[in-house]
Amino acid sequence: MPKATPKAAKKAAPRPKAGASGQPVLLSGGNPQIPKGYGEAPIQAYIAAMPGWKSPLGTRLDALISAAVPGVRKAVKWNSPLYGLEDDYWFLGLHCFTSYVKVSFFRGASLDPLPPGPSKQKAVRYLDIHEDDAFDEAQFTAWVQQAAALPGEKM
């Protein structure tokens, strides 16, 4: 009787799905298709795959969030970067669309002042950032700090 071979204890980190060009696949609307993962590596893979002007914006947003919330936890789920303080509780998410990057504050209705984008979900508020928009880093940082102080959304 042949011996069963033991399964590997650890799986290799998932790689972004690549198209024919070797670049990560962009889903409809231009959002990068990045496998689920926790930590810095999947976030950086997502940011690197953001098309055009969105990648430098993603780098800046990530830096502002990291500076505003020491010890922030990071993950990519559902092809979107998430930021939180506890396992699977998140206060903010990012998502690329054709002409803008959407920042989702999961408890945004509790922020002061309210982020400008309403949602069908009562607690959620959005900030849509277009290429030529003036971006108020101080206000964004204040929202991030407020959001991190609220209970996160379990996802």
For residue 126, what is the domain's CATH number? Answer: 3.90.1150.200
Confidence at 24, pLDDT banded by 50, 70, 90: confident
How many domains, the chain?
Answer: 1
Q: pLDDT confidence of 55, banded at 50, 70, 90? A: very high
Model pLDDT, residue 86: 87
Domain assignment present for 8: no
Give the structural domain span for 100: 37-154
Among 3-7, 67-71, 84-88, 97-101, the least confident range? 3-7
Of 138 and 5, the structure prediction assigns the larger pLDDT to 138
If you search the block for the tokens 């803008």, which residue do you land on?
100
Here the contacts of 94-99 (C-beta below 8 Å, separation 24 or greater) are 94/46, 94/58, 94/61, 95/31, 96/29, 96/30, 96/31, 96/32, 96/50, 96/51, 96/54, 97/29, 97/30, 97/31, 97/128, 98/29, 98/30, 99/130, 99/131
pLDDT of 7 above 90: no
Provide the pLDDT for residue 23: 66
In a domain, 10, yes or no: no
In a domain, 107, yes or no: yes
Q: How confident is the model at residue 148 (pLDDT cuts 50, 70, 90)?
A: very high
Given a cut of 50, is residue 5 above it in pLDDT? no
82 belongs to a structural domain: yes
